Structure 1
Amino acid sequence: MNDNYQTIVVGTDGSKSSLLAVERAASIASAFDATLVIGSAYYESSEEASKTLRQDSVTVLGNDPAQKNLDSAAEVAKKVGASKIETALKAGTPVQALMAIVNEHNADLLIVGNRGINSLTGRLLGSVPADVARQSDCDVMIVHTVS
């Protein structure tokens, strides 16, 4: 088993806090000379979006805005020094999308922001960072992006 991270996945929803997670992930990817995969989830319809009870992440409707979020996140990652950058779009909830991206890319590290983890709904319904930490087969780093 290689003890260096080779593929790092980070999620973004276009929010300021998720871009802080992207920055942190990019600097780690740069340090390990790892591939950085920036992932974004989107809902295919407002019906799909309204089924989710959680409000801890920005609801991205359709893959156009999601792609724009990925493009700006990739710019941020480049500025921080990541050189091997890929992007991945997935329909579904943020947790489903991130888990799928992690598995498809065989990632060894997943980085997410901490938004929602301390809110009441986060504690009752789970939050993106808490849920991915439970479900992930690879290391998960929760970056302190919201105090």
Structure 2
Amino acid sequence: MGAYRTVMVGTDGSESSLAAVEKAARLAADSAAELVVVCAYIPMRGHELRAAEDQLKAEAYQVVGSAPAETTLRIAADRARAQGADSVRTIAVEDEPVAALTRTALKVSADLLVVGNKGLRSLAGRILGSVPADIARKAPLDVLIVHTT
């Protein structure tokens, strides 16, 4: 197996996903690869947004719109550069995470897709599915699930 040329990582701004960003950045730096950081988001407005914010509390940033995605990507890019990644590109995608990550990986010709393991071992993840498990099943490229929780 040769070195990776394009490493892609998904982030939602959580500490768990930012740990995956840091791991992906170190891998990209070791391979002299481009790092593509992707944040999927689904914007909500009005009553729907207020209800989601009330239910999600600290996780509500994920449903507000693209502005939080842009902030998340800026933070992630800074952390990636701090880990030695020289070439960092960020992309915000309006869609649910699994579809956004798999589609974007194909679009950017990623060789490796990195995600954190958050939700992988939870009961809800086992019943409803989780982003890392669904990515591992659906992505048409190498997937690295980083232990972040």
Whether TM-score is above 0.5 comes out as: yes
Q: Which residue of 2 aligns with 1:18?
A: 17
Q: State the shift of 1:121 in Å.
A: 0.8
User: Is this contact kept in 2: 1:41–1:60, CA < 8 A?
Assistant: no
* Aligned counterparts of 1:61 and 1:92: Cα–Cα separation in 2: 13
> How many residues are paired up?
138
Q: Does 1:144 align with 2:143?
A: no
One-letter amino acid of the structure 1 residue matched with residue 44 of structure 2: S
% same residue:
47
**What root-mean-square deviation, in Å, do the aligned CA atoms of Structure 1 and Structure 2 show?**
1.7
Within the candidate set 132, 137, 141, 1:134 is matched to 137
User: Is this contact kept in 2: 1:60–1:66, CA < 8 A?
Assistant: no
Matches within 5 A, 1:1-147: 3-45=2-44, 58=59, 59-146=62-149
**Unpaired runs of at least 5, structure 2:** none
* Aligned counterparts of 2:35 and 2:127: Cα–Cα separation in 1: 32
**Unpaired runs of at least 5, structure 1:** none
Greater helix percent: which structure?
A: 2
Structure having the higher Rg? 2
Q: State the shift of 1:89 in Å.
A: 0.7
Task: Return the TM-score normalized by structure 1.
Answer: 0.89
* Aligned counterparts of 1:60 and 1:72: Cα–Cα separation in 2: 18
* Aligned counterparts of 2:36 and 2:138: Cα–Cα separation in 1: 18
User: Is this contact kept in 1: 2:11–2:38, CA < 8 A?
Assistant: yes
User: Is this contact kept in 2: 1:8–1:107, CA < 8 A?
Assistant: yes
* Aligned counterparts of 1:34 and 1:138: Cα–Cα separation in 2: 16
